[in-house]
Structure 1
Amino acid sequence: MRDVSEKQAADDKVAVVIVAAGRGARAGQAKGPKQYQQIGGGAVIARTLDAFLMHPKIGPVVVAIHADDGALFRRAAGANADRVVAVTGGTSRQESVRLGLLALRSHAPGRVLIHDAARPFVDAELIDRTIAAIGERQGALPALPVADTLKRETAEGMIGETVSRAGLHAAQTPQGFPFWPILAAHEKAHHLGKADFTDDAAIAEWAHIPVKIVPGSPDNVKLTWARDIAMADQRLSGGARFPDIRTGNGYDVHAFEPGDHVTLCGVAIPHGKKLSGHSDADVGLHALTDALLATCGAGDIGTHFPPSDPQWKGAASRIFVEHAVKLVREGGGRIANADITLICEAPRVGPHREAMTEALSAMLRISRDRISIKATTNEKLGFVGREEGIAAIATASVVFPGDVPE
């Protein structure tokens, strides 16, 4: 990667800072940061770089990357890695932009575009519109008018009021500015410890730099969630897709001991015995936790909640299920259904099935019709037949973004 101080283009060329230092946690970490994930056979960031490096008005390009991503960036960028300057970004987007701008000082460009690496569908027309609107003391912001009705939420999670959408726009990138004023604004914000700006137009507004709105592009979407990346891949790849549907199974058993109730699928049921276990010994939820963990290759319940750890003594097993749900969703998974079979001679499960279904619906965040709870006896055979304990079998189906690997 060459030094940005080299003579790269005529003075009227526009510099670019591409922000690519984030971790992209909302897109799931199983496949790495979102800017390096694959869409249409190439990395997200590679497509973003192509859009700018192929544009005739673009001069020097600086990419702010995470300190750990040097090799990852080179692999993703390919031959373009030697056409840009990679600098180590900061702990926030705002800090990464500032460091990218500082790397451009020796080139002293007149204008600069600042763009998110996770917007790979930026096109030449949008770049042209943004550049054309940059003035000596004026920035440019591509944006789309807000089409959805907006609601303000109260602290209780209720609708507080309907917000007028008149004059409201959804901001996009690249955002364009005269170079020295936006650098000075970033430096001033940094020295004053103001680190809560969500984009560069907000910093410009704070620094009294006027910003003109130019028409954005509905195709210029920011890839935020795992499903966004899957849809981008489908958009670029074309053709029929085979969804990645995974099924996990779980089995658990607990013995009885003296007590006055058992907890099954999150519901306390009066009984002459209780189930023995380090937590509340909810055999149904333990089996379901293992089934969910199996869909994302995350081990089993003992991996995450070892019975040797005293903090889980007497713990409600819904904690285990909700942790597994969190891991599934972080990987981009959508729970399609859950099926639990309780194997016992007693207590009777039927009268409590509705309460169990309701509890599971809340834990899994899926509708009741996607949950099945069944019970069967063991026909007086084995430890279950002798009423020495209860067993449970659980199956969970989860839909993940992307294709099934070949």
Structure 2
Amino acid sequence: MSETGSIGAVIVAAGRGERAGNRQDGPKQYRSIGGRAVLARTLEAFRNNPQIAKTVVVIHRDDHELFTRAIEQTDGPGSLIVVEGGAERQQSVLNGLEALESAKLGHVLIHDGVRPFVSNELIDRVIGTLQSGEQAALPVIAVSDTLKKSEAAKHVDGTVPRSGLYGAQTPQGFSYRDILDAHRAAAEANKSDFTDDCSIAEWVGLPVALIDGEPENVKLTTARDINVADEKLTFATAGTHLPDVRTGNGYDVHALVAGDHVTLCGVDIPHDHGLSGHSDADVALHALTDALLATCGLGDIGDHFPPSDSQWAGASSHIFLEHAAGLVAENGGTVMNADVTLICEAPKIGPHRADMRSKLAEILGIAVERCSVKATTNEKIGFIGRREGIAAIATATVIYRSNPNG
């Protein structure tokens, strides 16, 4: 299918996805949902459509290893063309379009790599609209929420009538030569403020036909989006079987010594003492690390980061928790909840609780409402009551798609 009139696809997956949080398993397009990378699911939708002759995937120059692992979860590279993206999405799309120039295409579909729930029916609907003679096709969802306008983002300045307003989705379809020329013209004019490919088509005067989008065709933007998608696929796979829910507990204690601050849940808190330990002695993250490891039977923090190893001297404990979360993900787990109780006479935890919860959410890549931090005193009893140390108890809840480690 290389003759004029065939159809190509450009899958854009070169973004960094900062709003989804930083994780060792990479940007959001490589996060696991239902046991497979987001990008693997997106690519499969286009590669399984018999009308798509050529598919280009545009990735970041630092992501070749991540992409290789993701593509192993599909039917293999096949006819995929892999190119590197630019600093902005617009440049990435242009790179992808130019990689198809020798294929003699009639039409091309451009799709976000983080929209993994695109259906075969929607792809066919976009293609059918192009084949009917339209130069561009845009799937949309009518806006149903009341829209408010605010210049300073503090108070409402007015209500925007929602009649005739639509939310744009992808894949957006075009006459191949028209959209390639439009992108080149935008680059030559140094215009880089377009928010999607149809806005570039509009700029050069191409008519854009609206077609029905799909509510399920969501763009995964935040860590919460990814977790919701993972839960959806996890339970869909489980069918009528009970989900494999695991709960792990962890406990840690460190002595108080001379110092000027303590680190708890990754947050530095001014204090008239410090915590003694080989690393930064963050009892909360240590306990939570053990709780996560317990859900898949992989020992405790000392097995992975022995205190006898000098490389961990003074290390930030977020390294330990990220490692445990990564092992959970590798074994098919999704962290659903993290709960930490700090036991100390001082410092006061309340003023720092919000920052602590945010830090846990950032490290684990889950929504902040799934992270709990509580504190209690020991009623001046024992070593904690005498302010000789601080202890932490942690509980983690994880859903597994299959038996961990096998």
TM-score, length-normalised on structure 2?
0.70
**What is aligned with 1:393?**
391
2:363 corresponds in structure 1 to: none
Offset at 1:85? 1.8
Q: Which residue of 1 aligns with 2:111?
A: 115
Contact 1:292–1:324 (8 Å) recurs in 2: no
Residues 112 and 178 in structure 1, CA contact (< 8 A), matched pair in contact too:
yes
Match of 2:208 in 1: 211
1:216 deviation in Å?
0.4
1:16 corresponding residue in structure 2: 9
> Among 328, 348, 357, which residue is 2:350 paired with?
357
Instruction: Report what 1:194 is aligned to.
Output: 191
- Specify the alignment match of 1:313 in structure 2: none
Counterpart of 1:339 in structure 2 is 341
Distance 1:136 1:72, change over 3 A: same
Structure-2 change in CA distance of 1:264 and 1:11 (3 Å)? closer
Deviation at 1:164, TM superposition (A): 3.3
CA contact (8 A) 2:253 2:389 kept: yes
How many residue pairs get aligned? The number is 362
Aligned residue number for residue 99 of structure 1: 95
The residue aligned with 1:76 is 73
Residue 394 of structure 2 aligns with an amino acid whose one-letter code is: A
Letter of the 2:173 partner, please give it: G
Pair 1:377 & 2:380 matched: yes
Contact (CA 8 Å) 1:35, 1:45: kept in 2 or not?
Answer: yes
- Report the secondary structure of 1:82's partner residue: coil
Equivalent in 29, 38, 56 of residue 23 of structure 2: 29
Trace 1:267-286 onto structure 2 (pairs within 5 A).
275-277=272-274, 286=282
Distance 1:362 1:296 in 2: 21
1:9 and 1:262 map into 2 onto residues whose CA distance is 65
Distance 1:13 1:286 in 2: 59
In the aligned structure 2, how far is the partner of 1:92 from the partner of 1:146?
27
Matched-pair identity in %: 34
Who is 1:147 aligned against? Answer: 144
Aligned AA (1:114): I
CA distance in 2: counterparts of 1:232 and 1:83, whole angstroms: 30
Measured after TM superposition, the shift of residue 400 of structure 1 is 5.6
The worse-fitting range, judged by mean Cα deviation, of 218-227 and 324-333 is 324-333
State the partner residue of 2:128: 132
Change (3 A) 1:336 1:151: farther
Would you say the 8 A contact 2:85–2:91 is kept in 1? yes
**Structure 1 residue 86: Cα displacement:** 1.9
Offset of residue 247 of structure 1: 4.3
State the match for 2:172 in structure 1: 175
Distance in 2, matches of 1:85 and 1:263, equals: 48
CA distance in 1, matches of 2:122, 2:183: 24
Aligned partner of residue 377 in structure 2, secondary structure:
strand
Counterpart of 2:85? 89
1:165 aligns with 2:162: yes
Which among 51, 57, 61 is matched to residue 57 of structure 1?
Answer: 51
Q: 1:322 to 1:62 in 2, by over 3 A?
A: closer
The residue type equivalent to 2:389 in the other structure is: A
Deviation at 1:118, TM superposition (A): 2.3
Q: Give the superposition deviation at 1:11.
A: 2.8
Q: Secondary structure at the match of 2:12?
A: strand
- The more displaced of 129-138 and 87-96 is 129-138
Unpaired segments of 5 or more residues in structure 2? 294-300, 359-367
Q: Given the two structures, how large is their TM-score scaled by the length of structure 1? A: 0.70
Partner secondary structure for residue 76 of structure 1: coil
For residues 177-200 of structure 1, what are the alpha-carbon distances to aligned partners after superposition, in whole Å with 9 as ceiling and x for unaligned?
111221122112223333333321
Instruction: State the SS of the aligned residue for 2:123.
Output: helix
Find the residue that maps to 2:15 and give its secondary structure: coil
- Take 1:287 and 1:128, find their aligned partners in 2: how far apart are those partners? 54
Counterpart-to-counterpart distance in 2, 1:369 and 1:20: 33
**What's 1:315 paired with?**
none
CA distance in 2, matches of 1:324, 1:168: 47
Q: 2:227 — aligned with what?
A: 227
Letter in 2 for 1:190: A
Structure 1 residue 250, shift from structure 2 partner: 3.7
Pick from 281, 284, 290 the counterpart of residue 288 of structure 1.
Answer: 284
1:328 and 1:159 mapped to 2: Cα distance? Answer: 44
One-letter amino acid of the counterpart of residue 60, structure 1: K
Q: Distance in 2 between matches of 1:195 and 1:51?
A: 29
Native 8 Å contact 2:9 2:109 kept in 1: yes
CA distance in 2, matches of 1:33, 1:325: 18
1:37-88 CA distance string (max 9 Å, x none): 4445544334333322333332222222233426335423433x12222222
User: For residues 207 and 264 of structure 2, what CA distance do their matches in structure 1 show?
Assistant: 62
Bigger CA radius of gyration: 1
- Would the aligned equivalents of 1:328 and 1:334 in 2 still touch at CA under 8 Å? no
Query: 1:325, CA displacement in angstroms?
Result: 10
CA contact (8 A) 1:64 1:100 kept: yes
Measured at CA, do residues 128 and 296 of structure 1 come closer, stay the same or move farther in structure 2, by a change above 3 Å? Answer: same
Contact 1:333 1:401 in 2 (8 A): yes
- Per the TM alignment, residue 174 of structure 1 is displaced from its structure 2 partner at its CA by 0.5
Q: Which runs of 5+ in 1 are unaligned?
A: 1-7, 280-284, 310-319
SS of 1:110's partner is strand
**Per-residue deviation, 1:98:** 0.7
